Amino acid sequence: MATQKKARVTIKDVAQLAGVSPSTVSFVINNVKHQSISPETRKRILQCADQLGYRPHYYASSIRNGKSHTIGVVTTYRVNSMYFLDLINGVMAETDQEGYGVVICPHAGKGEGLSTSFLDYFREGRIDGVVFISSAHSEEKSHECDYISLFRKHEIPFSVIYGYTDFPGVCYANTNFYEDGRRAARLLISRGCQRIGYVAALDKDNRTPYMPKTEQDRIDGYIAALREAGLSHHLFMFPRDFHAGDYTALTCEVKNLHADGFITCWATFGLQMLTLLREVGQRVPEDTRMISLDSLPYLSHTAPALSAMRMPFYEMARCGTRMLVDQLNQRPIDQPRMLFDATMEERTSTL
């Protein structure tokens, strides 16, 4: 005779083995308050459950108490940004602790426009709420609003991570862009820099400045720090991937400034600037110091190693997730608008 298909161990099996009713087992397993259980019974039940390797069927209990105990992660962009690693880790750190599950709501189709898979997930009872990962520093301005109105229309609990809108009653876990710019500038100043340039980006058309509010915030912070120190500011707008094209004009610009410090809006710009400075014979950090306002995972291996501000994605994700879970459990949220600072990763380029 063939091996019997190993059947699921149910609450009934445990009840039978322990000689009690299923409900008693349920009470014990779930540690129900206001339900007294004699110590012996409790112990016996726990033992039996253990012995049989019993685990409550997640879906069955979910269906009964009307909560999936799972949250959905919704992203505006496809899941290919490096930030996503920190984000997912942050989300999971919090959900693990709270006994929630996580599912990533997939981007239907090619990925343009807003993806509404979360809506199906919600209506199918697979998620109780959404951690919405926005994209404060990118162009897709309008989408955050669209998503938020969808959440509201369908009464889906949610929190926003890395967002740029500012709706009352909505929970945000954001980055403190102003402080990032300010701290980077202060670091350079503390290293003795006097002429500090800020390298920002042109838009994809290589003409108009790429200036979302977040970038403006950083620049404001940079300017504020310089002003405090009695220094004047110098703003450059460089095309993306300028190193791929002809950038002699930019080289002149940079030379003319005689800067002894640079802040770049992105690490990719920082890398390109390092090359540019080497080409014009300026040593980093001896002649010119440099720090970028976001980070990459291998900056310690560039030459010189590029200092950077690591964006606080892990922290934002934890916080945003916690706020969502608090909502789901009707716990009060003390501070619905949280700002996180980047972490300074100081390396050779600012020593």
Q: Of 61-69, 73-81, 224-232, 295-303, which segment contacts DNA by CB under 7 A?
A: 61-69
Write down the least CB distance from residue 220 to a copy of itself, Å: 27
Which tokens sit at 128?
Answer: 């109780």
Per-residue binding letters, 189-228, with a copy of itself (x by CB under 8 A) = ----------------------------------------
Residue 43 sits in the site that holds DNA (CB under 7 A): no
Q: How far apart are CA 328 and CA 120, in angstroms?
A: 19
Contacting residues for 39 by C-beta, under 8 A, at least 6 apart:
none
Nearer to DNA, 22 or 106 (CB): 22
* CA-based nearest residue to 54, from 14, 23, 89, 17: 14
Neighbours of 217 (CB within 10 A): 21
Residue 119 sits in the site that holds DNA (CB under 7 A): no
3-state helix, strand and coil shares in percent for the chain, rounded to the nearest 5: 45, 15, 40
Q: Which residues pair with 87 in a beta bridge?
A: none
Residue 82 sits in the site that holds a copy of itself (CB under 8 A): yes
Q: Which residues pair with 166 in a beta bridge?
A: none
Which tokens sit at 119?
Answer: 């809506």
Write down the least CB distance from residue 143 to DNA, Å: 30
- Bridging pattern class, strands 307-310 and 343-345: antiparallel
Write down the least CB distance from residue 17 to DNA, Å: 12
Residue 65 sits in the site that holds DNA (CB under 7 A): yes
Residue 70 sits in the site that holds DNA (CB under 7 A): no
The enclosing H or E element of 201 equals: strand 196-201
Residue 32 contacts which entry, a copy of itself, DNA, none (Cβ below 5-8 A, type-dependent)? DNA
Q: For 350, what's the count of Cα atoms within 13 Å in the CB-facing half-sphere?
A: 29
Residues 232 to 261 in contact with a copy of itself, rule: CB under 8 A: 241, 243-244
Query: How many residues contact DNA, by CB under 7 A?
Result: 32
Write down the least CB distance from residue 120 to a copy of itself, Å: 6
Residue 92 sits in the site that holds a copy of itself (CB under 8 A): yes
Considering only residues 5, 6, 21, 305, which one is a binding residue for DNA as defined by CB under 7 A?
A: 21
Q: How far apart are CA 43 and CA 51, in angstroms?
A: 12
Residue 23 contacts which entry, a copy of itself, DNA, none (Cβ below 5-8 A, type-dependent)? DNA
Per-residue binding letters, 9-48, with a copy of itself (x by CB under 8 A) = x---------------------------------------
Phi, psi (rounded to 5 degrees) for 132: -95, 120
* CA-based nearest residue to 197, from 114, 283, 288, 116: 288
Residue 59 sits in the site that holds a copy of itself (CB under 8 A): yes
Whole-number CA gyration radius for the chain:
27
Residue 281 sits in the site that holds a copy of itself (CB under 8 A): no
Write down the least CB distance from residue 300 to a copy of itself, Å: 8
Residue 101 contacts which entry, a copy of itself, DNA, none (Cβ below 5-8 A, type-dependent)? a copy of itself
- Bridging pattern class, strands 196-201 and 234-238: parallel
* CA-based nearest residue to 101, from 124, 69, 126, 75: 69
**Cis ω on the peptide bond leading into residue 209 (within 30° of 0)?**
no
Residues that bind a copy of itself (CB under 8 A): 6, 8-9, 53, 55-60, 62-63, 68, 70, 78-80, 82, 84-85, 88-89, 92, 95-96, 101-104, 106, 108, 120, 123-126, 155, 241, 243-244, 267-268, 271-272, 274-275, 278, 296-298, 300-303
